[in-house]
Amino acid sequence: MGLTARVGVTPGRIRHTVAFTLAHAEGSPDERAFLAAASRLAEIPGVEAFELLAEVSPKNAFRFGISMEFADQDAYESYNAHPDHVRFVEERWLPEVADFLEIDYATR
Amino acid sequence: MGLTARVGVTPGRIRHTVAFTLAHAEGSPDERAFLAAASRLAEIPGVEAFELLAEVSPKNAFRFGISMEFADQDAYESYNAHPDHVRFVEERWLPEVADFLEIDYATR
């Protein structure tokens, strides 16, 4: 996974992103296990253009990012309500993420 | 400009993003003028996949976003040092932006 080339313009889509840091030590098995679990969010229906990223700016403290796109607001809401997403948030995100910020972009 | 489909995977690239709010009133001529000036950052050499976006998450107060990609760190640094970028930061960004957060992503 990683940065990708982009083509075309598609109004109506939503790009859901979250920058985050983990409670785990850098390079630890716990970190790897979390990132592996996070990458499986890509399998939830409606998730497109999924990317698990490194945050590299010295201007903030976040170390990772997730970016995904949805065709529309309905697809985004279905993802949020999907049992696999709800379970991930409860069992992995809340206990293992130290800080995060969600930023969502749409065409303007 | 807007959200776009993505294809392929390109390690080594950097996606530079900034979420921001303006000092200007929503929908004001000053807001339009700022966004028009910001969109011309796309013309600076090295800037790829430029997007001027609406920030739509209810979980933060940012209203806009800019996303661009660079082939590598050198291209990013050349952009930062380019006179058109330096002038934009001094003449438009610093006086007209009320709050912002830069988040940069790379392949991990």
What does the pLDDT look like over B1-54, one tens digit per residue?
A: 556 555 444 678 999 999 999 999 999 999 999 999 999 999 999 999 999 999
Spell out which residues of chain A touch residue B9, defining contact as CB-CB under 8 Å. 1-4
Q: Tell me the C-alpha distance between B88 and B38, whole Å.
A: 8
* Torsion (CA) B82, B86, B92, B97 in degrees, nearest 10: 110
Q: Tell me the C-alpha distance between A47 and A78, whole Å.
A: 10
Spell out which residues of chain B touch residue A52, defining contact as CB-CB under 8 Å. 108
pLDDT at A9: 45
pTM for the full predicted model: 0.91
Q: So what's the ipTM on this one? A: 0.90
Give mean pLDDT, residues A86-90. 98
Q: Which of A65, A68, A96 is nearest to A82 (CA)?
A: A68
What does the pLDDT look like over B46-103, one tens digit per residue?
A: 999 999 999 999 999 999 999 999 999 999 999 999 999 999 999 999 999 999 999 9
Contact B55 A104 (CB under 8 A): yes
